[in-house]
Amino acid sequence: MSGDAELSRATFDRSWLEEIDGRSPVLLVAPHGGTADLNARHLLNPKVNDLHTAEITREFARRIGASALINTALDRNSVDLNRMAQLLAHAPWFLELIAARVRSIAARHGRAVVLLIHGWNVIAPRLDIGIGLRRHGVELRPAGSARVSASDDFIHGPLARLGERLAESAIPASFGLRYPAGGAQNLLQAFTDRHLEDDVPALSELSAMAARGAIEAAQLELSVALRIPGSFRERCIEAMVECFGNPPRGDSTSAPARLHVIRTPEVRSAMPARRPPAAAPPGRVGIEFFDPRSRVGAMASFDLGPGGVGARIMVLLPGGRVALFTNEGRSRLDGTRASLGPLAFEARGHRLGLRFHGPMVIVPDATSYLRLERALASARLEESAEIEIELEPYPDEHEPRAMFRENGGQWDPVAMSAFGTFTGEIRADGIKCALGGFGRAGTSFTGLGPLRFTSRRMLWACFARETAEPLALEIRTHTDGGESEHASARIMNDAGWSACEVARVELETRSVSAPPEHLSATFTENGAPARTIVGKVENFVPLSRPGPANTRIFTSLGFARFRLGSHEGGGLFEYSRRTDNLP
């Protein structure tokens, strides 16, 4: 059977759709509650389905007596029910079914409340509310040419109360931070007056109902911590039940000052706009550290400056396990301290400290990260992991506080790094122990940067002070599509850094899901005989990240014990390659 025939049958037989009848004025829709099918394996950049939203929508509907339309099986890579063009091309009956449900609810109750339940693949407990608006200070403004899907009373009533109730449970809520739901193709826009003149009867009917105030609609984006079973999920559902399960009440007297809702999109001039001065690119600063004894390694980083998008920490644990926390939004830079949610990085005099106390997703098999959906499907949530370390850099020309330097109110990226030894402790996934080993801080070693490479191999190694020279070593090589390889290296001793010449780097994997079979690099320094550093891989994670122009970047990343002559230490390695073909 051809792919088109399979798609036609999948959308026609409706076997993926679960319908729930209710008596409340609420209709719940879960467009992305399915899972990846076999066809998704052949896609270079597949979309991730919103795991657990089907079960959450079912439970939410049961508890408030709502009607619901739940996609329980259809892969969004086959048909994306949240995109109007795909919906109308492959499953127009689904939009007709939505219109019939909304029509029936509005006739019974005077209006219908439509809530679209989605997933946001950030780990931190967060909920983003999409109504076609983004928050700018005390204003809610249309995202592009979006139309607003909710009245002022609904925004300042149930949606504001939802934000309050979630905040009481340490769950931040935002308006359009990540997903304002304002695009013309977004399903939420069907519940606005945007499509009044559309030729599709179901779409124009929904727009007409919205125009006369018979529909209130919102898109609720639940983060990973709110979807994986656990107390965060229960608290989120409780808050939604409280805010949407009862007849609307008056505005809460305890609510903060109302946000000002602007409904008219900005009118753009037909005159060519003056190009604004180029802003400095965001910088990524953080820390990497490895304890050879416990075989625990971690990477944490913050995006600082204009366009910064968040912060994250990934911990590689023994046995191939991975613990991950990610968060989105602008990192706070306060003097010599960067923070976002429960993750903070700061200068403490001449030392550098990292502190995390919050939820982490635990994935039992690191190789599943080649497909994010597979990793999330296997994950469980540890709601209160804790990591704290302090790095004592070796003497260097850089001052640790320079990593947090601002220039005119903006973060000024500094091409620098600090190496040294660290101590600390960890409590995560059954591990509770002291940590000690080697670390590096500064601009992120593994950030993708401008992506001007087809392949790259990198490593850093740090050695104990008691072993005399060397103290640290960095080696980077990359190819940019040509035959030649570009390489740079430097080595640090008590006198500071000196440049090296790279003769050879051996860092290969037999597949994108395998660790390096051999890890070594040969270099020369100041005309001295060549030396070779050899690494023994202790843990690793394979990553698959989107590249430019519909390419994919496959990365093998991890920590190793390193030996250089008689000196032993530890550090990090990375091997990345860009491709437009699946391996």
135-171 burial, b if ≥16 CB within 10 A, otherwise e? eeeeebbbbeebbbbbeeebbbbbbbbbbebbeeeeb
CATH number attached to the domain at 283-443: 2.40.370
The predicted pLDDT at position 449 comes to: 63
∠ CA 366-370-375, rounded to 5°: 60
The predicted pLDDT at position 480 comes to: 81
If we measure between CA atoms, which residue out of 282, 289, 336, 325 comes closest to residue 307?
A: 282
The string of DSSP codes covering 443-495 is: E-SS--TT---SEEEEEEEEE-GGG-S--EEEEEEEE-SSS--EEEEEEEETT
If we measure between CA atoms, which residue out of 168, 163, 172, 166 comes closest to residue 126?
A: 172
- What's the chain's length in residues? 583
Q: How far apart are CA 408 and CA 406, in angstroms?
A: 6
- Report helix angle 231-244 to 53-64, nearest 10: 40
Q: Where are the domains of the chain?
A: 3-261, 283-443, 445-583
Residue 96 — φ and ψ, nearest 5°?
A: -65, -40
The predicted pLDDT at position 522 comes to: 95
SS3 194: helix
Sequence letter at residue 267:
V
Matching CATH topology for 3-261 and 283-443? no
**What is the model's pTM?**
0.92
**Which letter does DSSP use for residue 259 in this model?**
P
Residue 512 near residue 555 (C-beta atoms within 8 A): no
Q: Which two tokens stand for residue 554?
A: 């496959």
If we measure between CA atoms, which residue out of 187, 300, 171, 296 comes closest to residue 238?
A: 171
Q: Which residue has the tokens 């899901």?
A: 513
Which residues, other chains included, contact 472 with Cβ-Cβ below 8 Å and sequence gap of 6+?
Answer: 394, 419, 440, 460, 461, 462, 463, 491, 492
Q: How far apart are CA 17 and CA 6, in angstroms?
A: 16
Residue 155 — φ and ψ, nearest 5°?
A: -65, -45
The predicted pLDDT at position 395 comes to: 84
Q: Which two tokens stand for residue 440?
A: 């590096």
Q: How far apart are CA 453 and CA 458, in angstroms?
A: 13
CATH says 3-261 is which class? alpha beta
**Which letter does DSSP use for residue 186 in this model?**
B
**Which letter does DSSP use for residue 247 in this model?**
-
54-93 burial, b if ≥16 CB within 10 A, otherwise e? bbbbbebbeebebbbbbbbbbbbbbbbbbbbebbeebbee
If we measure between CA atoms, which residue out of 425, 418, 504, 424 comes closest to residue 460?
A: 418
**Which letter does DSSP use for residue 50 in this model?**
-
- Strand-pairing partners, residue 580, are none
Give, for all 583 residues of the chain, the pLDDT tens digit. 455 555 555 556 789 999 999 999 999 999 999 999 888 888 888 999 999 999 999 999 999 999 999 999 999 999 999 999 999 999 999 999 999 999 999 999 999 999 999 999 999 999 999 999 999 999 999 999 999 999 999 999 999 999 999 999 999 999 999 999 999 999 999 999 999 999 999 999 999 999 999 999 999 999 999 999 999 999 999 999 999 997 544 444 444 568 999 998 875 544 554 554 444 555 888 899 999 999 999 999 999 877 678 999 999 999 999 999 999 998 998 889 999 999 999 999 899 999 999 999 999 999 999 999 999 999 999 999 999 999 999 987 677 888 887 666 666 666 678 999 999 999 999 999 999 999 999 888 877 665 577 889 999 999 998 766 799 999 999 888 766 778 999 999 888 889 999 989 999 898 999 999 999 999 998 888 999 999 999 999 999 988 878 888 899 999 999 999 989 999 999 999 988 887 7
The predicted pLDDT at position 72 comes to: 97
